[in-house]
Amino acid sequence: MTLDQARKRHAELVREIRMHDHAYYVEARPKISDREYDRLFQELLDLERQFPELVTPDSPSQRVGGQPLEGFRRIRHRVPMLSLEKVRPADHPTRAEEPDDALRKQRQDQNTLNELRSWDLNLRKQLRLDRLEYVMEPKVDGVSISVHYEKGRFVLGVTRGDGTTGDDITANLRTIRSIPLALQIQDPPAHLEVRGEAYMALKDFEALNRQLESAGEEPFPNARNATAGTLKLLDPRLVAQRPLRAVFYGIGHCEGIEFRTHAEVLQSLRRFGLPTQPEWWLCRDMDHLLEIYRREVVADYREEKDLRARLPYEIDGVVIKVNDMTLWPRIPAKARAPGYAIVHKPIHWIEPAETVLKAITVQVGRTGVLTPVAELEPVFVQGSTISRATLHNEDEIRRKDIRIGDTVVIRKAGMVIPEVVEVVKSKRPAGTRPFDLFEHVGGRCPACGGPIAREPVSTGEGQEVAWRCQNVAGCPAQKVRRLEFFTQRKALDIEGIGGIVAEKLIESGLVDEPLDLFELKTEDLARLNLGTEEAPRVFGEKNARKVREALERARTLPLGRWLFALGIPNVGEVTAHDIASFHEDLESVARSPLLQGVVRLEELAREAEAVNPHSRKNPPRTEAERRRRTEQYEALRQEAERIGRELIEAGFARPAARSGEGGFPACVTKVGPVAARSVLEFFASPAGKRVLQRLKTLKIHPRGARTAVSGGPLAGKTLVLTGTLSSWTREEASELIRQAGGHVAGSVSKNTDYVVAGESPGSKLDKARALGVPVLDEAAFRKLLVEAGVLKDSAQTTGQRYGGGSAQPELF
């Protein structure tokens, strides 16, 4: 594709994605499927990876996350972010006293509702009013955020923190697509701070956990926890991969705009294009509120219709606010909470449920890890019927002493994947035995009957010991999971090969490993029976054709996607793309000197530690030993330094910023030693060699985002262009930089290596000076290009311009 074609397509994609974002997140009326949306977005990303000069600050891709941060800046809230007062939960009778479930809940709730009445009465007395209007809205169980718009532009995002000061999480919040980067107001106010919650929708959270689990990582205990953890990540690129959303319910500091009532705030925010809650109620008075509460919130205490079942996110109560904001300053605040609002939590929303653990089944993941799952007597907990719960791992079962036949307490308060909280020991039947996973599965993998072993596995949080099926190549469960991983959206995006289809493909023997897909006959796929022998249900002609098309598309996806799809241990999406951007193809990854350098550096550090003459743990005992160790240490250090320099020169590492960072010697590599080793080991293994061989046979050659040029003054460097150059257009200059192995970025940061300044440069030059980034004028830039070998020599090319954007610059 030429740059001109790329630019046109890019503009189209940007327009479409913006339109779909609004339709999806704000209108909640999507116009295309998630799958189609993802395809558009991936196309945009792939395009920008190939043509970095197309990246503008307000491209939707900028939501995909910028450079990692060192830490969060602290921001003082101009208007404190307070807590909310809760209605005191009243004592409630035990369940035995009231056989009718709905009636019992109503009784329990009644006491707290009476508290609401007296709250209203008190307020009216203080304000000397007969009647007070209220707004009642769901209390979102997410993580509080504050977002600032200046002249309608998103400029700052902050956490609640301690209420007075929070963390600047702007880079992370920018990745949330439901937060508009620009407000839809004709004449935007000078300043508008909106407040709301970041959250993960229940189905997104479940999918995230499934994905973490299939990647062999630890799932999050609940959506709130996953949200909070994600917002605290220092790498916005990781944040961008998590399905965060936001909803807004209030305002903070404002200039140039005023609101009279809370209802007006909610309506205005929505009009400005900000997502607000789908349900909230303006109530004439407290009686009216309680009537709505009974009908809409708790649905007369029949859980199926309860408000929680209607919302896509978790809520843990309702917030009741005085509607007239002009009254707010007249209502005295509590210590950490305003006086004009109160939270009510229906008592049965916080109640855990009890049920019987009928059995424990064991699932086999992609990497063979065995995960125990509780099979429960079905029980209705907070909006849905639960019949399974995760037990995490064997250690967790031991710690809680969970046994088959036990009565267990299940909780979902804030948890989507229900958890077994504890065992009701008093209800334990006679004859139960402590759970032993090895014994439970008869010492064999429940999927393939193969041997199992207890070994360390890496999870999101580090290492953990788990039982694992050893039959990597033959276990059908592992094959199915690998196939699902390979075809998932972020990998090769082959729609239709998931769940039952993957299972049947493996079971029928049509597919044994993911690459078999490319040799699968469309007729065979169409005939695949997804049902049983008695009740057959075939995959079908049309679906098979769609898969075929997706496979065709997959053949030309960039290297990063392929590297990720292979499911190499410890290689997540970000790592895969990082590696891809420094390599030409899979072969060059397989024998990458960069990755070898990273691995060698770690070995050297270990060896050096062992002979360190200044070691406190193991000091030299004799003078001779000290001398010998000093020599050895010095030799190792020199080798490490040489490798470090090479990696830094190639742009694959940077010098450590602080002492102690990066270890021995002080350099921080783009990809860590665990991932680097894992990649090299994979391609050296028979399985990895087979993959390379087969791709060759299949004529699939995934390409790196650019051709890596090793060595040269611009290799691996990040450059920013500003002003007009006399010899080249921006595009031509960018192309030359790419040919020299460098990157072109759109804005200056401390990760910028050079700023190239032409005639009448813009603010980027000031920024470069402020950050101490070296600035090149045209002559200096030309000199580097010549040194890099992409330009002949200055005399010959002076004044000579390349043709249109699509023409190749003059290269050797």
Distance CA 159, CA 161 (A): 5
Give the three-state DSSP class for 107: helix
CB of 446 vs Zn ion, minimal distance in Å = 8
Tell me the one-letter amino acid at 756: V
Farthest CA pair distance, the chain: 97
Inter-residue contact 81 to 147 (CB < 8 Å)? no
Partner in contact with 599, chosen from ligand AMP, Zn ion, none, beta carbon below 5 to 8 Å by kind: none
From the list ligand AMP, Zn ion, none, pick the one residue 448 interacts with, judged by a Cβ distance below 5 to 8 Å according to partner type.
Zn ion
Q: Which does 197 bind (CB under 5 to 8 A by kind): ligand AMP, Zn ion, none?
A: ligand AMP
What is the enclosing helix (H) or strand (E) of 420?
A: strand 419-423
Helix crossing, 593-611 with 623-649: angle to 10°? 160
Of 37-45, 338-346, 436-444, 471-479, the segment contacting Zn ion by CB under 5 A is 471-479
Q: Residue 249's binding partner, choosing from Zn ion, ligand AMP, none, with beta-carbon cut-off 5 to 8 A by kind?
A: ligand AMP
Helical spans, DSSP H, in 720-762: 730-739
> Nearer to ligand AMP by C-beta: 318 or 386?
318
Residue with tokens 């040799």: 519
CB of 137: closest distance to ligand AMP in angstroms?
4
The listed partner (Zn ion, ligand AMP, none) that binds 743, CB under 5 to 8 Å by sort, is none
242-271: which residues touch ligand AMP (CB under 6 A)? 249-250
Shortest reach from residue 250's CB to ligand AMP, in Å: 6
d(CA 219, CA 206): 9
**The residue count for the chain:** 812
Work out what residue 137 binds among ligand AMP, Zn ion, none; the CB cut-off runs from 5 to 8 Å by kind. ligand AMP
Choosing from 8, 125, 139, 542, which is the catalytic residue? 139
- Residues forming a β-bridge with 585: none
Neighbour count for residue 112 (Cβ, 10 Å): 18
CB 481 → Zn ion: shortest distance, Å?
11
Residues 113, 215, 223, 475: which binds Zn ion (CB under 5 A)? 475
CA distances from 75 to 63, 170, 262 (A): 22, 11, 26
Residue closest to 479 by CA, chosen among 510, 451, 456, 453: 510
Q: What is the DSSP letter of 72?
A: P
By CB under 5 A, the count of residues binding Zn ion is 7
Note the Cα 739 to chain centre separation in Å: 32
Q: Decide whether 471 or 570 has the Cβ nearer to Zn ion.
A: 471
Among 286, 325, 360, 469, binds Zn ion (CB under 5 A): 469
Which residue, 311 or 466, has its beta carbon nearer to Zn ion?
Answer: 466
Given Zn ion, ligand AMP, none, residue 435, with its beta carbon under 5 to 8 Å by kind, binds: none
Question: Which of residues 474 and 613 has its CB atom nearest to Zn ion in the complex?
Answer: 474
683 near 595, Cβ under 8 Å? Answer: no
CB of 649 to ligand AMP, least distance (A): 48
The pairs formed by 391-400 with CB atoms below 8 angstroms and a separation of 24 or more are 391/360, 391/420, 393/464, 393/466, 394/435, 394/436, 394/437, 394/466, 394/467, 395/465, 397/360, 397/372, 397/435, 397/437, 398/434, 398/435
φ and ψ at residue 252, rounded to 5 degrees: -120, -115
Provide, rounded to whole angstroms, the least separation between the CB of residue 438 and Zn ion.
14
**Residues contacting 465, CB < 8 A, separation 6+:** 395, 454, 455, 456, 457
Cβ of 550: how many Cβ atoms within 10 Å?
19
195 three-state secondary structure: strand
Residues 6+ apart with CB under 8 A from 587: 692
**Buried b or exposed e, range 719-747, using 16+ CB within 10 angstroms:** bbbbbebebbebbbbbbbbbbbbbbbbbe
Crossing angle (nearest 10°) for helices 476-487 and 202-214: 120
Q: What is the CA radius of gyration of the chain?
A: 30
Indicate which of ligand AMP, Zn ion, none lies near residue 447 (CB less than 5 to 8 Å, by partner kind).
Zn ion
Build a one-symbol-per-residue string for 282-321: x at contacts with ligand AMP by CB under 6 A, - elsewhere: -------------------------------------x--
Q: Which stretch binds ligand AMP (CB under 6 A): 77-85, 212-220, 229-237, 723-731?
A: 77-85
Q: Is 137 in the site for ligand AMP (CB under 6 A)?
A: yes
**CA separation, residue 396 to residues 393, 401, 418, 435, 467 (Å):** 5, 8, 15, 11, 13
Segment lying near Zn ion (by CB under 5 A), choices 280-288, 461-469, 685-693, 703-711: 461-469
User: Residue 247 touches which of Zn ion, ligand AMP, none (CB < 5 to 8 A by kind)?
Assistant: none
Q: Which of 23, 26, 40, 84 binds ligand AMP (CB under 6 A)?
A: 84
**Residue number, 484 or 778, with CB nearest to Zn ion:** 484
Residue 785 CB-density burial (10 A; 0-12 exposed, 13-18 middle, 19+ buried):
buried
| CA 414 to chain CA centroid, nearest Å | 19
Which partner in ligand AMP, Zn ion, none is near 450 (CB below 5 to 8 A by kind)? Zn ion
In the complex, what is the shortest distance from the CB of residue 320 to ligand AMP, in angstroms, rounded to a whole number? 9
Residues 422-451 that bind Zn ion (CB under 5 A): 445, 447-448, 450
- Smaller CB separation from Zn ion, 171 or 475: 475
User: Which single residue is written with the structure tokens 């050659």?
Assistant: 701
> 367 or 727, CB closer to Zn ion?
367
Applying CB under 6 A, which part among 79-87, 523-531, 607-615, 778-786 lies near ligand AMP? Answer: 79-87
Contact 710, 781 (CB under 8 A): no
Span of 118-126, 139-147, 352-360, 395-403 interacting with ligand AMP by CB under 6 A: 139-147
- Identify which of residues 320 and 494 has a Cβ nearer to ligand AMP in the complex: 320
Contact 470, 451 (CB under 8 A): yes
**Among the residue ranges 99-107, 132-140, 327-335, 532-540, the one whose residues contact ligand AMP (CB under 6 A):** 132-140
Name the residue nearer to ligand AMP (CB basis): 115 or 641. Answer: 115
Structure tokens at 378: 């079905």
CA–CA gap between residue 597 and residue 274 (Å, rounded): 48
Q: Which of residues 488-517 bind Zn ion (CB under 5 A)?
A: none
Q: Which stretch binds ligand AMP (CB under 6 A): 17-25, 78-86, 425-433, 726-734?
A: 78-86
Token match 């940061």: residue? 749
Q: Please, which residue, 439 or 634, has the CB nearer to Zn ion?
A: 439
Contact criterion met (CB below 8 Å) for 647 and 669 = yes
Pairing of strands 165-167, 74-76: antiparallel
Q: Is 232 a catalytic residue?
A: no
**Contact residue for ligand AMP among 104, 105, 139, 262 (CB under 6 A):** 139
Report the residue number, 159 or 390, with the smaller CB distance to ligand AMP: 159
Q: Whose Cβ is closer to Zn ion: residue 195's or residue 468's?
A: 468
Do residues 338 and 138 touch, judged by C-beta distance below 8 A? no
Q: Using CB distances below 5 to 8 A depending on partner kind, what does residue 83 bind out of ligand AMP, Zn ion, none?
A: ligand AMP
- Determine if 228 is a binding residue for ligand AMP (CB under 6 A): no
83 in contact with ligand AMP (CB under 6 A): yes
Q: Closest separation between CB of residue 173 and Zn ion, Å? A: 43
Q: Site for ligand AMP (CB under 6 A): which residue of 13, 47, 55, 140?
A: 140
Tokens linked to 7: 């630019």
Q: What CA–CA distance (Å, rounded) separates 588 from 708?
A: 10
- Applying CB under 6 A, which of residues 144, 323, 393, 678 lies at the interface with ligand AMP? 144
Please, what is the end-to-end C-alpha distance for the chain in angstroms? Answer: 21
Nearer of residues 144 and 367 to ligand AMP, judged by Cβ: 144
Residue ranges that bind ligand AMP, judged by CB under 6 A: 81, 83-84, 137, 139-140, 144, 160, 197, 249-250, 319
Residue ranges that bind Zn ion, judged by CB under 5 A: 445, 447-448, 450, 469, 471, 475
Residues with catalytic function: 139
